[in-house]
Chain A
């Protein structure tokens, strides 16, 4: 295809260098890799291992319930087992597996070399691994959480919950941080790293869904993190957020938990549907029918999912009018869900379907999920829910939804995408056998649970009487669970053993149309060169594309400067904007995750000094990471990416990926803050006098703090402008002033409740005021670090009037800080006065 031997030689050299730049380190240093293929595989394998562990716990639960009055395991162990089963499945499998798949698949699917923050992805993986092992390991010491995966106080705040509750709260908070990191990575990746020409309406559906899901994570996880914070303050320091004797309310936790917990179900479900949206068109041999329908339906599902949380609380005695609202919303979510299912059916109708193993899992999943969806409509109706709530009917419903809507599609995805891992197929025969074992085993296990629930069997009972008609149903369920387990085991055997004997297959074995099938399993670079996309199914519609891409005839085919680079394009139209140099192999990711993990583990055991030391080490590691790995001033302003296009290598402000990452992170952070403010007003609504007759922080100190924060904000913006105009000296002075003002603001913030002598253990009012003020002060402290960081960068010559991305990002942080201060001090200072 090339004209001369010379050019062939040049291409080969270019390819060799590109390969070297993207190569993983060898030996033990392999584990410091940050490449999305490695991280995706490790992430996925770890999540699968956790799933198998939680599956075994599920089998243990089923074994205990096989016969009435069984004493196979103690009630205490039973309670730990079911709590951990739910917790691990939700937090350590269902969400992480999609972060794994997304990290693995998105770069080639979008036509990118890498996601924009590979080190952040690696950091997230290591955090997930450390936190997950910590949480799972606890059961071997009899110290696992035992209060249910929903951790309702007062049970979970009581002595009876033991250290397991702290392990749950701190271990999972750590993992939630990892999930948020992944969300930031995925959102920026999908918005900014698509191949040129891949306008939003040409995006693969998987990318659409992941964008929606990552956005949902951003709004759903922070309320739980805020709840965890309140919860742990009560457990550690006796701040009475959920203690009714001191003005608290256990229902606040239920609200915060389910504001997270219900979107969580859709965070799990939508990516699975996304896999089906990739698989079904391939095997129907045609583009999806109703692309706009399915995208709108996914957006609608994501949106509605935030309005359903109270349907977990229908039996708590809330007013009937609010029950009616949430009942309506819960029913309504069936509509966009139904649209998505019928988009698949319509696509199959309009195509010629090849019924492969992935399709078998996909169709089995849909059959199960639809059943779960229909029982979902039943329990969305309040009168029926009053009866079915907290019974085995719900256990059946949720497993139909999650296993049909998530596990089967994941297995479909496993069989479908396995060739991308190492060019080999999973066994078709084992796959079909595993499917039928899992499908029948699943239905034998869970269908009888509907009946057990209707016959009055409540959830979370470690045993039951013999003579009330539950025994044979439970025995059947246990039998089914064994069959289901054997089916899963068959897949494990297939993954670990069978495929070794197989020859390497062709690329794109299913003749799929989307871009990820262009990638070569043995290469680390994502795509050899970055093409221009003109269709939703480029491999079908642009016939020479694969050849041209692999021959390096498209953009950014080289790594001439020895750096890992990918292309950044505009958000809507994906027009090339600049070349992004992404982070390479580094130990800093492992060190940061390990130190942060130590902070959380040490807090669990109340080792204050260890956690303080680890905390300082973590902050140091992060600063080192930023200092050495970000904001680098390139050796030349522009790079020729081929085909006559030359792009800048440095970007700052709204064009840079860092700015977007800061914006997205702070949106999540703001959601957590909003949840705390929600707590403040929640207490106000449930009490006649929510101050409990206690003194507030007054007006003076909160207003002083607000003024100082505003001044610090203004000085930060001033520094950015002065630097931009080349007035470096004034910029540095303004940064110093800003840091001093912020420090003073933090002190003034804390002085309010301090001088008023507010004792946070006495009543919930001082406690919630302290939490809001501490939140603002800690953010102020982080703001000071950022200002000093910019100052240091400027003094070191790493931040100049033309290369000022740090200042832009810090100014953005301070916009959010200013809003936080305004709300905090307005609420704690002025609101009590207005009453």
Chain B
């Protein structure tokens, strides 16, 4: 893929320089007109023979590359399958391990380095597109269909992913961090997400506020009665890198801000703005959310 890109870029620039240079030669620099027959030969050689040769080679190479980039068709199964469902303007993420267990999360992707991961992509409302520029090509999330994408991360690190298909007013704020981890660390991380966060059962004042304000109607927090599904799962929200789908860094200040100003920070989102909530209550709520590690 990188080879293809560099071949095309360098080749393209060379061809461009040739065409422009040749045009300038023909229109300004040449001393005397050439004969019509030679000019006709130019059309044949530069306009037909050369492009046919180059394009045939390029196309064959690209078609040969395609199956290795999207290796589907056979029955081969990746160990880990991550189900991603696009919503305006956030991502539901469900990790399906090889043993059939599932872990629900949102707005962040974690994956092991060096292992091929299969994504199954669907949408709950509009057409979205799932794209992690550093890891490979994009694939649309289309209502009524499930698309598949397979990605292989070769280097651990944190990348940025985002929605690439215009999906409404806050399309620009529909991103997500991607954390590529060593396989062992990834397994440990996933295991920790199978159980509720310890903070979910503490009887924290923030938790009481969460329930009082009806947040659980839309959000789920494992280990509490909150089991809504129309908003992102918050079971371990405190451990995510960002909130608001890649919108803000995740700390208690931004959490409090998001609770109070969701509609302004993210126009068109379903989350109401809790402006009426006193500042100290916002802080308590945010503190508890941050505890959900």
Contacts and interface: CB of A to CB of B under 8 A. Distances in A.
A346 B144 contact: no
Interface string B178-218: 00000000000000000000000000000000000000000
A351 to B, nearest CB: 6
B137 A387 contact: yes
Interface stretch (A35-43, A135-143, A229-237, A462-470): A462-470
Contact of A290 (B24, B34, B40, B160): B40
A396 interface: no
Interface stretch (A151-159, A606-614, A715-723): A151-159
Most buried by B among A332, A343, A383: A383
A341 B170 CA distance: 42
A335 B48 contact: yes
A327 B33 contact: no
Interface in A347-393: 347-353, 355, 359, 363, 366-367, 370-371, 374-375, 377-378, 381-387, 389-391
A766 interface: no
Most buried by A among B1, B162, B165, B167: B165
Nearest to A330: B59
A377 B166 CA distance: 24
Nearest to A376: B12
B142 A250 contact: yes
A346 B40 contact: yes
B20 A323 contact: no
A360 to B, nearest CB: 10
Nearest to A346: B39
B67 interface: yes
Contact of A389 (B15, B20, B164): B164
A249 interface: yes
Interface residues of B, number: 75
B3 to A, nearest CB: 10
A315 B129 contact: yes
Q: How large is the interface on A (under 10, 10 to 19, 20 to 34, 35 or more residues)?
A: 35 or more
A707 B148 CA distance: 49
A374 B19 CA distance: 11
A148 to B, nearest CB: 5
Contact of B55 (A74, A79, A331, A345): A331
Contact of B12 (A245, A377, A458, A463): A377
Contact of A160 (B127, B131, B144, B169): B169
A328 interface: yes
A352 B165 CA distance: 50
A816 interface: no
Contact of A315 (B133, B138, B143): B138
A327 to B, nearest CB: 7
B131 A458 contact: yes
Interface string A518-558: 00000000000000000000000000000000000000000
A461 interface: yes
**Interface of A: prevailing SS:** helix
Interface in A244-303: 244-245, 248-251, 286, 289-290, 293
A456 interface: yes
A386 B138 contact: yes
A332 B55 contact: yes
A75 B27 contact: no
A320 B66 contact: yes
A248 B143 CA distance: 10
Contacts of A320: 66-67, 70, 72-73
A342 B46 contact: yes
Contact of A378 (B8, B73, B147): B8
Contact of A386 (B27, B69, B171): B69
A349 B66 contact: no
B280 interface: no
A500 interface: no
B58 interface: yes
B126 A75 contact: no
B223 interface: no
Given A152-B127, A316-B142, A343-B47, A370 B19 contact: yes
A76 B172 CA distance: 12
Given A320-B70, A349-B42, A463 B34 contact: no
Nearest to B170: A75
Contacts of B65: 383
Interface in A391-427: 391
A251 B142 contact: yes
A231 B142 CA distance: 17
Nearest to A455: B133
A280 to B, nearest CB: 9
Contacts of B48: 335, 338-339
B283 to A, nearest CB: 25
22 contacts: A152-B127, A155-B166, A289-B39, A315-B137, A316-B142, A316-B147, A317-B145, A317-B148, A327-B59, A327-B63, A348-B27, A350-B38, A363-B27, A367-B19, A374-B12, A381-B8, A384-B1, A386-B138, A387-B137, A459-B166, A463-B172, A464-B172
Interface of A: 74-76, 79, 146-148, 152, 154-155, 158, 160, 244-245, 248-251, 286, 289-290, 293, 315-317, 320, 323-324, 327-328, 331-332, 334-335, 338-353, 355, 359, 363, 366-367, 370-371, 374-375, 377-378, 381-387, 389-391, 455-456, 458-464, 468
Nearest 4 CB-CB pairings of A with B: A244-B144, A386-B137, A342-B47, A456-B133
Given A387-B133, A468-B160, 11 more contacts: A244-B144, A248-B144, A320-B67, A343-B47, A345-B46, A346-B40, A363-B23, A370-B15, A377-B8, A381-B58, A390-B129
